[in-house]
Amino acid sequence: MLRGVTFVPLLAWPAMTLSVILVFLNVILIGFILLHKGRGGGLSDLFGGGMTTGMSGTSVAERNLDRITIVVGVLWLATIIGLLFLFRIQA
């Protein structure tokens, strides 16, 4: 035992909990993104070049996967913002 040495936790339990949730959401989000069917087209799709061919034949499963991915992405962003506020309060 060290005398006179106090150990300060690096993260309080809310920040630690949000950090664990963030890691979990990272893995889930990567998995959902990899499950999407490639639509091809490269950077032209980014600027709207492939919207007509890409969205014409989407199935119910693909639309549900899109919705779930968006929800997980919003939760991921909210977790990051929550950690930002917690770290600013602790500083």
Q: Which two tokens stand for residue 80?
A: 């990051």
pLDDT at 27: 97
**Residue 30: what pLDDT?**
94
If pLDDT is split at 50, 70 and 90, which confidence band does 71 have? Answer: very high
- Predicted pLDDT of residue 88: 85
Q: How far apart are the first and last CA of the chain?
A: 29
Contact 69, 36 (CB under 8 A): yes
Cβ contact 36:65 at 8 Å: yes
CB-based burial of residue 82 (10 Å sphere; 0-12 exposed, 13-18 middle, 19+ buried)? Answer: middle
In tens, the pLDDT along 21-59 reads: 999 999 999 999 988 877 665 555 566 655 555 555 578
Residue 68 pLDDT > 90: yes
Domains of the chain, residue spans? 13-36+58-90
What's the chain's average pLDDT?
80
pLDDT at residue number 16:
87
pLDDT at 84 over 90: yes
